[in-house]
Structure formats: C-alpha cells, structure tokens
Amino acid sequence: MPIDSYRFLDFATRKIMQAWTARQEPGAIPFTPLARPLRECTVALVSTAGIARNDDRPFDQEGERRNPWWGDPSFREIPAGTTEKDIRIYHLHVDPRFGEADLDVVLPMRRLAELAEAGFVGRPAPTHYSTMGYILDPAELVEKTAPAIAARMREEGVDAAALVPV
C-alpha cells in the first residue's frame, strides 16, 4: 500500500486515524461475486458526505453541536438527476464547498451515467444514497441504516455499489 493514507492530514487527526486503524478487528470479510458482467450491471453510489436534498430533511448538525461525540447516523436518498443546485452538504468535518460546487466530486452520478452510455456499466440505479461520515458509535448505522439502504437497493435491482468516504 504505497499510498500514504495520512498525507493530507494534520498531526492530531493523523494520530487519531492511526489509533482507529490499529483498533479494528474485522473478522471474516463478506464477498459477493459480481452477478453478471459489469457492462450489464445496475450500479448505485453511496457517499458519506452528508448530502441532503433541499426538499428533504437536513442531517442533524445541531445534535452534533450539542453532543460532539454524536453524529447523525441516518441516510438520505439522492435520486439520479439531482445536481449541486438541489442539495447541501451537512458534514461538519469536511469542506463542503467542493461538493457544493460540483456534486460529482463526492457523488459522481453524471460520471456514472456517462460510463453507462459508453457501455462500461449497464445502467445507473434510479436512486443513490448519502450518509454522514462522522459516526463514532456505529451501532445504529450498522443495525438500521445500512440494512435499510440494502433493502432499497434490492427493490431497485441493484447488482453493484460503489461507496466513497469523504
């Protein structure tokens, strides 16, 4: 792994990320082989940028300000065709301006549509997803949010998903 995972981080953040890395105990890793060739797959995207549409409920920033050990573990659906004009980014630990200038840097729905047009993937899913990445206690994320996203993906016939921590 020649990529330096901590290159862009300040000293304190780097130390915390390294401590978290050392603390993981992954156990068995699940693996689902791709069901069909990628050029036939329906593909969905998931971003941790804390993206919510302006006509949807924002991620709860006030809750995190009241208790900085807590982060909103819910998720938002982002329908294909949503652009930076339709959303805001509610993650208090990242600079939201890049994704609010061009949503594709954190949720590349237009790029995915282009790759589908080019025949590289089958089709984009009708719906994509965002969580908010600052979650210190992952219980609700793992027990409620992720299964709910999986259920929505299955309803829409999703074969494969690309996820991106932001």
For other proteins, which is the closer residue by CB, 53 or 92? Answer: 92
Q: Does 138 bind other proteins (CB under 8 A)?
A: yes
Contact residue for other proteins among 74, 105, 122, 123 (CB under 8 A):
105
Contact residue for other proteins among 50, 52, 72, 159 (CB under 8 A):
159
Which residue in the block uniquely carries the two structure tokens 């990529």? 3
For other proteins, which is the closer residue by CB, 55 or 159? Answer: 159
For other proteins, which is the closer residue by CB, 55 or 118? Answer: 118
Q: Is the dihedral of CA 14, 17, 22, 28 positive or negative?
A: negative
Would you say how long the chain is, in residues? 166
Contact residue for other proteins among 52, 59, 130, 134 (CB under 8 A):
134
For other proteins, which is the closer residue by CB, 39 or 57? Answer: 39
Contact residue for other proteins among 56, 122, 123, 161 (CB under 8 A):
161
For residue 40, give the DSSP letter: G
Distance CA 125, CA 42 (A): 6
**Other CB atoms within 10 A of residue 134 CB:** 18
Q: Dump the DSSP string for 96-165.
A: THHHHH-GGGTS-HHHHHHHHHTTSSSEE-SEEEE-BS--SS-HHIIIIIHHHHHHHHHHTT--EEEEE-
Site for other proteins in 13-72 (CB under 8 A): 15-17, 19-24, 26-35, 37-38, 41, 43, 46, 48-49, 63-70
